Amino acid sequence: MSRIIDGKAVSAQVKERIKAETAKLKEQGVEVGLAVVIVGDDPASKVYVRNKKKACEEVGFNSYEYAMPAETTEQELLELVNKLNADEKVDGILVQLPLPKHLDDKVIINNIRPDKDVDAFHPINVGHIMIGDYSFLPCTPAGVMELIHSTGVEVKGKKCVVIGRSNIVGKPMAMLLLHENGTVAICHSKTQNLPQVCSQADILVAAVGKPKIITADYIKEGAVVIDVGMDRDENGKLCGDVDFENCKDKAGFISPVPGGVGPMTIAMLMQNTLTAAKLHKGLSGGTDEGTSDGKDRNVWNKLFLHT
């Protein structure tokens, strides 16, 4: 019988800490601002943006929403990004993905100031994550790490398998596990004997994007199983990549969908926005709250804040 990892409870703790710190900053006259840009009418994106705005309200940030029509041109979007880059009230900029097909995600992301890139998608931030010297956490992988930490299971020396090699989840996920001294494998659609590889994992992170494909034969008895999937089952009901009912008695710890990784991603976004605000205001260094080793990683003052 496994323990269910409660992402809502863990994310509430993270947000409480952020809220307390934000209130203290306010007493010093410092406000924190996040700009969220959405282009078009994708219903899922609208829900995500609404949840991000709600989280800002919960922790005491100012949120600025920019809803642009689906036919927005690259130039128009870049003009907005540049305006937000220059706006002192805006500490973090998030452009909700996916963008409409005629817009190139890469061009837009590359134009967000790296010290406002609270998604940590800019190549400069990706590079920092690779080196293990970063201020901004990759939100979803960092949320997964928090959930793993909440189990009390130490990553050091463990066999970790990440299924999925996306730039947003799989690759940075592997890096964070590696930074905590896990022995990490990344699996993908060309991996041979996937169930057999996965069933050796002490820590299994599924980020495949296919409903319930991970069944009990992929799971080692007692493993920590984290489900990053946000899929729909045959009845259109929200579910994960992991067949929860099939796996829950074999795993040691398992995260549900919904109520697992989802709320953590937003909590980590709030953490990054707070970090950005503190850096912009010259308060403490690159914060490492939310990271595991408490190392000083204040690279931002040196790299960007003189500009």
Q: Which residues sit at the interface with ligand GUN, rule CB under 6 A? A: 48, 94-97, 119, 139, 265
Closest residue to ligand GUN, based on beta-carbon distance: 97
The residue among 94 and 204 lying less far from ligand GUN, judged by its C-beta, is: 94
Choosing from 15, 91, 96, 117, the catalytic residue is 96
Residue 30 CB, nearest approach to ligand GUN (Å):
25
Report the candidate in 258, 259, 215, 211 with the shortest Cα–Cα distance to residue 235: 211
Pairing of strands 92-95, 62-68: unpaired
The position carrying tokens 């029509």 is 69
- Nearest-approach distance from CB 94 to ligand GUN, in angstroms: 5
Shorter beta-carbon distance to ligand GUN: residue 34 or 224 = 34
Catalytic residue among 115, 117, 119, 231: 119
Name the residue nearer to ligand GUN (CB basis): 96 or 199: 96
SS3 of residue 185 by DSSP: strand
Q: How far is the CB of 193 from ligand GUN (least distance, A)?
A: 30
Burial class from Cβ neighbours inside 10 Å (0-12, 13-18, 19+) for residue 278 reads buried
Closest Cα to residue 256, out of 272, 270, 237? 237
Distance CA 144, CA 185 (A): 16
* Whether 52 is catalytic: yes
For residue 52, the minimal CB distance to ligand GUN (Å) is: 9
> Could you say which DSSP state residue 71 is in?
T
Residues 93, 119: Cα–Cα separation, whole Å: 8
Q: Residue 223 or residue 266: which is nearer to ligand GUN going by CB?
A: 266
Active-site residue identified among 15, 52, 158, 171: 52
State the maximum Cα–Cα separation within the chain, in Å, rounded to a whole number. 57
Hey, which residues does 89 pair with through a beta bridge? none
> Which residues are known catalytic residues?
52, 96, 119
